[in-house]
Structure 1
Amino acid sequence: MKKIITIALMGSVLLASGCATQTALIQPTQQVTPTYSKSQSFFIAGIGQTQSVNAAEVCGGAANVAKVQTIQSPTDVALGVVTFGIYTPRTAKVFCK
C-alpha cells in the first residue's frame, strides 16, 4: 500500500510540474536573452485577471519588437503548487531586434 501511495504522489508531482510557454514571433530573431523579463502575479489561476506589457515601449517602437513570450517556469509552477493554486505567477519576456 505504501508503494502505491508513493507512486501516485510522484506521478501527480510530475504532472503538476510541467512548464507552459506562449510565444508570439513577430520577426525572426537570433536573440537568446530577453530585453525585458518580469514575473507577473496572478491569483486562482489568473481567472478574470489581465496583465499587460507595452512591447513597443520596451523596444523603442513597434518595428523593433521581435518576439513576446509568456512563460510558466518551474519556479512559477512550484509557487502555484505550494500555495495550492491561490498564487499562480507567470513570467513575461520581450525580445527586441
Structure 2
Amino acid sequence: MVTPWPYPDEHARPVQPPPPGQGGPADEDTRIAAAVAQRISSDGTTRRQQIAVSVQNRVVILTGIVTDPATRQVAGDIAWEVTDVFDVCNALRLARPRRLAR
C-alpha cells in the first residue's frame, strides 16, 4: 500500500497565511464582491433591484429578487465582466406579479 501524503515529520513546514492585504483568498473574494456590487448599483437596469452579492473562492453568488428575466441576465453579465471571476451562480428570483384586488 502506498501512502499518498508524507508523514508530518518528513520535511513538513507549517504553512503561513499571507499577511492581511497581500493577496490572500479572502482578500481577493472581498475585492471581487465589492467590484460586482459597485457595478450592479451603478447600472441603470439593476440599480433599483434587491440583489445581494457574495463571493466564495472567486465564485460570485447573486441572490435576491428582480423584476424581469432581462434584469436577471444583465446582473449575471455584470458579474462575469469583473476581473478574476471564476464562475457566477445566478440565483436571482423573479418577483411575482401582484394580483389585482377584485
Relative to the length of structure 1, the TM-score reads: 0.27
The one of the two structures with greater contact order (alpha-carbon pairs below 8 A, sep at least 6) is 1
Where is the strand percentage greater, Structure 1 or Structure 2?
1
Q: Which structure is larger by alpha-carbon Rg, 1 or 2?
A: 2
